[in-house]
Amino acid sequence: MDGNEKKAEDLMNILNMQEEILQFEHFTNEDALELGAFMIKEAKSRDYHIAIAIERSNGAIVFQAMMDGTTPDNLESIQRKFATVERVERSSLAWFMKLKEREESMADRFMDTSIYSCAGGGFPIRIEEAGVIGVIAVSGMNHVQDHDFIIKCLSKYLHIDEVPRINKADIRH
């Protein structure tokens, strides 16, 4: 295994751990509103100009906000991230890494890029012992930063201190 393969394996292990650690005991529409408001507050404190949305697996968008500096393109990106996470039940960054590792394209997986996204910023809302019931998505920064922002917010919101993280320099586009 060469250095690049090892690094890719390490990154996938981190993404797997994030999804394993950042699970909810329950997740209601009220929880979505509370989490969304928390994420907006965090974004404002960092002067991020992003769009955030939380969608249930039945397609209901239970939280959506566009901060100043975002456009409808950000919402389009979020919709494609939702579709990806709902289809693969993994974060959209994990999907990006998996395709990159296998040297596959979205077309190789019969995924139309006008519907699905091969970029970070979508994360599954997973209930412990029940599975994926929704998606959190962010758009407005580099796709790795979008993913990391979700991880930081979920870690704080769920009061979990030791969640491994990935930074933008770790992943080549």
Q: Spell out the per-residue pLDDT of the chain, length 173, in tens.
A: 555 665 888 899 999 999 999 999 999 999 999 999 999 999 999 999 999 999 999 999 999 999 999 999 999 999 999 999 999 999 999 999 999 888 888 889 898 999 999 999 999 999 998 999 999 999 999 999 999 999 999 999 999 998 998 876 667 65
3-class secondary-structure state, position 108: helix
Which residues, other chains included, contact 115 with Cβ-Cβ below 8 Å and sequence gap of 6+? 80, 83
pLDDT of residue 81: 97
Instruction: Could you please state the CATH topology (level 3) that the domain comprising 3-161 is classified under.
Output: Beta-Lactamase (3.30.450)
Assigned token pair, 95: 């999907």
Which residue carries 């950042």 as its tokens?
22
Backbone angles phi, psi at 84, to 5 degrees: -65, -50
Q: Write down the pLDDT at residue 144.
A: 95
- In a 3-state reduction of DSSP, which class is residue 55? strand
Greatest extent of the chain over all pairs of C-alpha atoms, in Å:
47
- List the domain boundaries for the chain: 3-161
Q: Which pair of tokens denotes residue 102? A: 């296998």
pLDDT at 4 (0 to 100) = 62
